[in-house]
Amino acid sequence: MVKSYQRFEQSSVFGVVSSGSNSIWIPAENKRTNGPGQIITGALENVSIWDIKTGELVSYLSDGLPPGAIDARTIKPAEVTYMQYYNDTNLLAVGYADGVIKIWDMISKTVLLSFNGHRSAITQLLFDFTGTRLISGSRDSDIIVWDLVSEVGLYKLRSHKDSITGLRLLDENWLMSVSKDGLIKLWDLKIQQCVETHIAHPGECWALGVDQDVVVTTSSDSQIKIWHLNLDADAGVKVTEKGIFEKQSKQRGVAVNFVTVSDGTKFFYVQNADKTVEIVRLRKEEEISRALKKREKRFKEKGMTDEEIQQNFKESYTSIVMHSFQVLRSAFKIRATAWAVTTSSKLELVITTSGNTIEYYSIPYEKREPKQPTPVRVHAIELQGHRTDIRAIDISDDGKLLATASNGLLKIWNIRTRTCLRTFDCGYALTCKFLPGDVLVVVGTRGGQLQLFDLASSTILENNEEAHDAAIWSLDITSDGRRLITGSADKTVKFWNLIVEEKEVHGTTAILLPTMSLYHDTTLEMNDDILCVKISPENKFLAVSLLDNTVKVFYLETMKFFLSLYGHKLPVLSIDISFDSKLIITSSADKNIKIWGLDFGDCHKSLFAHQDSIMSVKFLPESHNFFSCSKDATVKYWDGDKFETIQKLAGHQSEVWALAVAKSGTCVISVSHDSSIRIWEETDDQVFLEEEREREIEEQNEEGLLTSLEEGSGDSAFKQDEQGEDRDDAVDVHKQTVESLKAGERLMEAIDLGIPEIEAWEKYDKELQLWKRKRHGTEPEKPQDNAILLAINKKPEEYIMDTLVRIKPSQLEDALLTLPFSYVLKFLKFLDTVLQDQKLLHNNLSLICKNLFFIVQSNHRELVSQKNAELKQRITRVKNELRAALKNNEDDLGFNIEGLKFVKQQWNLRHNYEFVDEFDQRNQAEKTAKKRVFETLS
């Protein structure tokens, strides 16, 4: 019998306040909230919506199967890279690192559309003014215009040579773009061509901001370039350079955004690639004219000519039209910035930082200057995540609490609700552990401190600063909870007794309370730094891993040496011992896991387990199965008896530092460099090893097939590279995906099933007519209906049409491209048959036209070269019948429009009454009446 295992899949992910994408501000006017509003942030592969005032997670957008599920892919999910919100329709466009764009409905929190046309991460998204088109830019240097109504890509603009860093729509037909290739381009979307190209900066161009006729671009240094935009000017001079503005920060500006306040004053911010955002104010027209007059008067007094004065004005253009308003500085590197509430007396901005926080700043100002030297931080969301990498993790005995420790913070979480219950300040934590009773947590730090925290009173009970002379890399507690063992880089293993003592309450003299304390008992000195310590479940053995790549096993009570485990090429980073003390597993920086027998120290198996250092291994309780996590961003589930991988859990985006297994064995929690805490829970589904391996091989084959389809192979790929320099500005949007290939396969299967049926009935009809004319021989027999068509009670053409209808519009053209020419001929036969069925034709006329036009366009040469007379007749017949159907459709549409106009007119006549105030009407007549004037004619 084939052995099966219980499947683990991701049940939840938390701890991420914001990740690397931009952020979007939703004002309170749109949401019935008391605070200023809400902010939408990327949370790795998901999207979070936070209330800035309460700091609560309002809602959470997650799409697709959770990692680890039966049909989920074994590669990590794509991270959110860019978002854009369209207020009128409540649509949120989200771009991902794999080039996919998803359109979310913010009311129902569901994905309406999904587009896949880019080859790499989305860097820019932009809705047009009507919200019916979406423009996307990517790292693959392409710009694609998508139609949200027909759900297809309209065209792809390919003129840039590097990642797109800025897109702005000037009006319905004009688009401006900048790229890391240093160019600024102006596109005419009517003709789908680039009409102007300028060298924006000598190096890379990182951001673009446009407000009416003012254009701002940023470079990789401290310079901002100001441009003037005039779409009515001649081609070549629509965009003209005006001057350069020096930022205070020497780092590149990565985002520029304008805002106009209620009194008409304009501001824009430049977000830098450091901890600052610089706000710049544009001066008003009257302010500029007054300043120019004063300056001109002063220059004339100095004796300067008009030409010299105009030249001076031209050179100092940027200092005349704008001035630096204020600089916002954060404690962390800024990832994204957005304007929040802006009035004539205050500017408010919301930023997300690399410290996994959201900060809300206010800049009160009057007239032209801010009231305070620095912006005021009004709100902050930081409780629901760590500022730095989580390096240690532990689950309480009852499985309800989770402790996570990082550099400076220890947080206690409720696993079920995923909320942060307690936050403590600590040192640079490297290891932490719940003490029995789940009320106390002990933390070992890089500075050699041993800290004891009480969750009930939210206090630190003890802070032993001299516990070790160097970093405490690992600690463990005996199963009875009475002794604590710490291993440090100072080459010692120390034993601590946990004792309850009566201690005075601070600030009093007579009140005594029982308090837990740590007392140093014994020290075991080693020859090298200690990286990990582990006590066996029955408290018999102590395993210690050293920097010399070995693991030494001692008797816990007597400290006598028992075994030494040699074999790893690099230091062992983690150790675990099975529940029955028969197996010990070690994971190392050499990417290997070794499984040893604890009886004799023999190596049962060495597994090349991960692609990078393996940070932690943990046995499941009452089992020889174990989990491992690595810097390659994966968590793996292993069978320790058969030495096979059961599951590969790819959910994290970057290095996984630690994992913990609940005492029940049904829950595993992992933490990563991406700030996320992921809970993997056991499900009722089964895992069969052969099926898992087959699925992984299928995924690899699909990836290889898609790569070869996109890039070509051999000579074709080489020719593509050669032609890459002089490529067209606009091309069709096509990209083969697994979904489009499967859609093409489904269509071919439907054609294979339906066309023989159609041909059989055509043959029967011909033979029957011939028999009726001649009336000799036996009457031809009716063909046997296909069992599948008989079961679903459909004609073959209806079956093929249903298959076509089920293909997503965004995948339809790519699916038709996969059809071989023999199937194209069969498809034309199917269309010929459909045109005979008036009901089917009327219901699917637009789809039939779309498919036919694309098939003829993509197979034009092959169809023209065919010598088949029957095929030519069929194409002519299809053309005539389709034209007649379209003409009828057009007539019906015109008739319906006129009918609706007539119904509207009748309704207005019967139901709408116009009331006119006679007094107002008389006054209006008197105002507009002309007085009679008598003139004398001579």
pLDDT exceeding 90 applies to what percent of the chain? 48
pLDDT tens digit sequence for 283-306: 888 888 888 888 778 777 777 777
Task: Write out the two tokens for 131.
Answer: 């919200």
Q: How much is the pLDDT for 702? A: 77
pLDDT exceeding 70 applies to what percent of the chain? 95
pLDDT band for 510, please (50, 70, 90 cuts): low
d(CA 549, CA 370): 61
Q: Please state the pTM of the whole predicted model.
A: 0.86
- Phi, psi angles (nearest 5°) of residue 720: -60, -40
Fill in the amino acid letter for 319: S
Residue 616 has pLDDT above 80, yes or no: yes
Residue 34 has pLDDT above 70, yes or no: no
Q: How much is the pLDDT for 935? A: 57
Fill in the amino acid letter for 731: V
Residue 727 has pLDDT above 70, yes or no: no
pLDDT band for 509, please (50, 70, 90 cuts): low
pLDDT band for 710, please (50, 70, 90 cuts): low
Task: Write out the two tokens for 802.
Answer: 């249903």
154 CB-near residues (< 8 Å, 6+ apart): 133, 145, 146, 147, 733
Q: How much is the pLDDT for 311? A: 76
Yes or no: say if 896 and 889 are a contact pair by the CB < 8 Å rule.
Answer: no
CA-nearest of 601, 526, 613 to 574 is 613
Q: How much is the pLDDT for 33? A: 53
Q: Is 63 left (phi over 0), alpha (psi -120 to 50) or beta?
A: beta
Yes or no: say if 370 and 363 are a contact pair by the CB < 8 Å rule.
Answer: yes
Task: Write out the two tokens for 520.
Answer: 């140093």
Residues in the chain: 938
Alpha-carbon torsion (783, 787, 793, 797), positive or negative: negative
Q: Average pLDDT, stretch 393-418?
A: 93
Q: How much is the pLDDT for 146? A: 93
CA-nearest of 819, 848, 809 to 116 is 809
Q: What is the DSSP letter of 99?
A: S
**CB-based burial label for 562 (10 Å; 0-12, 13-18, 19+):** middle
pLDDT band for 938, please (50, 70, 90 cuts): very low
d(CA 231, CA 228): 10
Strand partners for 82: 95
CA-nearest of 732, 755, 682 to 853 is 732
Residue 610 has pLDDT above 80, yes or no: yes
Q: How much is the pLDDT for 1? A: 61
pLDDT tens digit sequence for 735-783: 888 888 888 888 899 888 888 888 888 888 888 888 888 777 777 888 8
Residue 721 has pLDDT above 80, yes or no: no
SS3 call for 839 = helix
End-to-end CA separation in angstroms for the chain: 124
d(CA 13, CA 649): 13
Say which CATH class 386-490 falls into. mainly beta
pLDDT band for 718, please (50, 70, 90 cuts): very low
pLDDT band for 856, please (50, 70, 90 cuts): confident
pLDDT tens digit sequence for 166-212: 999 988 889 999 999 999 999 999 989 999 899 988 889 999 999 98
CB atoms within 10 A of CB 930: 5
Residue 271 has pLDDT above 50, yes or no: yes
Three-state SS sequence of 688-718 = EHHHHHHHHHHHHHHHHHHHHHHHCCCHHHH
pLDDT band for 808, please (50, 70, 90 cuts): confident
- CA 459 to chain centroid: 39
Q: How much is the pLDDT for 723? A: 47
Residue 934 has pLDDT above 70, yes or no: no
Q: How much is the pLDDT for 411? A: 94
Residue 349 vs residue 288, higher pLDDT: 349
Q: C-alpha distances in angstroms, 694 versus 639, 646, 668, 689, 691?
A: 18, 13, 25, 9, 5
SS3 call for 740 = helix
CB atoms within 10 A of CB 323: 14
Q: How much is the pLDDT for 612? A: 93
Domain positions in the chain are 386-490, 739-866
Measured at the alpha carbon of residue 833, what is the angle toward residues 831 and 835, in degrees to the nearest 5?
A: 70
Fill in the amino acid letter for 299: F
d(CA 703, CA 73): 12
Q: How much is the pLDDT for 492? A: 93
pLDDT tens digit sequence for 50-79: 999 888 999 999 988 898 888 888 888 999
Residue with tokens 């006549």: 909
pLDDT tens digit sequence for 213-224: 899 999 988 889
Q: How much is the pLDDT for 931? A: 57
Q: How much is the pLDDT for 604? A: 93
Q: Average pLDDT, stretch 569-596?
A: 93
Q: How much is the pLDDT for 126? A: 94
The chain-wide mean pLDDT, for the chain, equals 87
Q: Is 507 left (phi over 0), alpha (psi -120 to 50) or beta?
A: left
Task: Write out the two tokens for 589.
Answer: 């920086």
pLDDT tens digit sequence for 413-422: 999 999 999 9
Alpha-carbon torsion (60, 63, 68, 70), positive or negative: positive
d(CA 389, CA 333): 15
Q: How much is the pLDDT for 159? A: 87
875 CB-near residues (< 8 Å, 6+ apart): 828, 863
Measured at the alpha carbon of residue 435, what is the angle toward residues 385 and 664, in degrees to the nearest 5?
A: 80
SS3 call for 889 = helix
Q: How much is the pLDDT for 717? A: 47
Q: How much is the pLDDT for 314? A: 76
Yes or no: say if 751 and 800 are a contact pair by the CB < 8 Å rule.
Answer: yes
Task: Write out the two tokens for 754.
Answer: 């339906």
Bridge-based pairing of strands 164-171 and 174-179 is antiparallel
Residue 729 vs residue 80, higher pLDDT: 80
CA-nearest of 101, 199, 191, 236 to 730 is 191
CB atoms within 10 A of CB 782: 10
**Which regions of 415-456 does DSSP assign to beta strands (E)?**
419-434, 440-445, 450-454
Residue with tokens 């038709």: 816
- Phi, psi angles (nearest 5°) of residue 623: -160, 160
